[in-house]
Amino acid sequence: MVKGCKSAYLIEAQSGECIYKENEYTRMPIASVCKVMTLTIAMEAINDGKLSLDDVVTASENAAGMGGSQVFLGSGCEYTVDQLLKSIVVCSANDSCVAISETVAGSESAFVEKMNGKAAELGCNDTLFANCTGLPKANQYSCAHDVAIMFKNLLSFENYFNYSKVWLEDFVHPDNRTTTMTNTNKLLKKYSLCDGGKTGFTNEAGFCLAATAQKDSMRLISVVLGADSSDNRFNSVIGMFNYGFANYKNKIVLDKNVTLNDEFTLSGGKKQSFAVCPERNCYVFSAVNKTPEITYNIVAESVKAPVVKGQAVGKIEVFKDGILCDTITVVSAEDVKKAGFGDNFVNISGQWAL
97 and 230 assigned to the same domain = yes
Output the pLDDT for position 108.
98
Q: Tell me how far CA of residue 151 lies from CA of 141, 186, 276, in angstroms.
A: 15, 18, 34
Confidence of residue 45 (pLDDT cuts 50, 70, 90): very high
Confidence of residue 343 (pLDDT cuts 50, 70, 90): low
Q: Does 294 have pLDDT greater than 80?
A: yes
Asked, for residue 50, whether it belongs to a domain, the answer is yes
**CA–CA gap between residue 150 and residue 336 (Å, rounded):** 43
Q: Does 351 have pLDDT greater than 60?
A: no
Confidence of residue 340 (pLDDT cuts 50, 70, 90): confident
Asked, for residue 1, whether it belongs to a domain, the answer is no
CATH number of the CATH domain containing 28: 3.40.710.10
Percent above pLDDT 90 for the chain: 92
Q: Does 87 have pLDDT greater than 90?
A: yes
Asked, for residue 211, whether it belongs to a domain, the answer is yes
Last residue of a domain, one of 249, 280, 299: 249
Q: Which of 7, 87, 92, 96 is catalytic?
A: 92
Closest CA relative to residue 193, chosen from 210, 161, 216? 216
Confidence of residue 262 (pLDDT cuts 50, 70, 90): confident
Q: Which of 6, 35, 114, 152 is catalytic?
A: 35
203 and 337 assigned to the same domain = no
Closest CA relative to residue 20, chosen from 206, 197, 154, 220? 220
Q: What is the DSSP letter of 35?
A: H
Asked, for residue 35, whether it belongs to a domain, the answer is yes
182 and 71 assigned to the same domain = yes
145 and 262 assigned to the same domain = no
Average pLDDT over residues 142-160: 97
Can 92 be counted among the known catalytic residues? yes
Q: Does 171 have pLDDT greater than 90?
A: yes
Output the pLDDT for position 312.
96
223 and 326 assigned to the same domain = no
Output the pLDDT for position 1.
83
Can 271 be counted among the known catalytic residues? no
Can 192 be counted among the known catalytic residues? no
Asked, for residue 158, whether it belongs to a domain, the answer is yes
Asked, for residue 2, whether it belongs to a domain, the answer is no
29 and 65 assigned to the same domain = yes
**How far is Cα of residue 288 from the mean position of the Cα atoms in its chain?**
25
CATH number of the CATH domain containing 319: 2.60.410.10
180 and 264 assigned to the same domain = no
Confidence of residue 91 (pLDDT cuts 50, 70, 90): very high
Confidence of residue 352 (pLDDT cuts 50, 70, 90): very low
Average pLDDT over residues 17-44: 98
Output the pLDDT for position 330.
97
Last residue of a domain, one of 225, 249, 273: 249
The total of structural domains in the chain comes to: 2
Q: Which of 32, 87, 236, 286 is catalytic?
A: 32
Output the pLDDT for position 353.
45
Asked, for residue 339, whether it belongs to a domain, the answer is yes
pTM for the structure as a whole? 0.89
201 and 285 assigned to the same domain = no
Q: Average model confidence (pLDDT) for the chain?
A: 94
144 and 288 assigned to the same domain = no
Average pLDDT over residues 1-7: 94
Is the bond preceding 306 in cis, omega lying within 30 degrees of 0? Answer: yes
User: What is the domain range of residue 272?
Assistant: 255-352
Q: Does 350 have pLDDT greater than 60?
A: no
113 and 261 assigned to the same domain = no
245 and 259 assigned to the same domain = no
- Among the residue ranges 70-79, 163-172, 261-270, 338-347, the one predicted with the least confidence is 338-347
Average pLDDT over residues 244-264: 94
Amino acid (one-letter) located at 351: Q
DSSP 61-99: HHHHT--SS---PPTT-EEEHHHHHHHHHHH--HHHHHH
Confidence of residue 341 (pLDDT cuts 50, 70, 90): low
Asked, for residue 228, whether it belongs to a domain, the answer is yes
Confidence of residue 354 (pLDDT cuts 50, 70, 90): very low
Percent above pLDDT 70 for the chain: 96
pLDDT in tens, 119-129: 999 999 999 99
Last residue of a domain, one of 219, 249, 279: 249
187 and 74 assigned to the same domain = yes
Average pLDDT over residues 222-237: 98
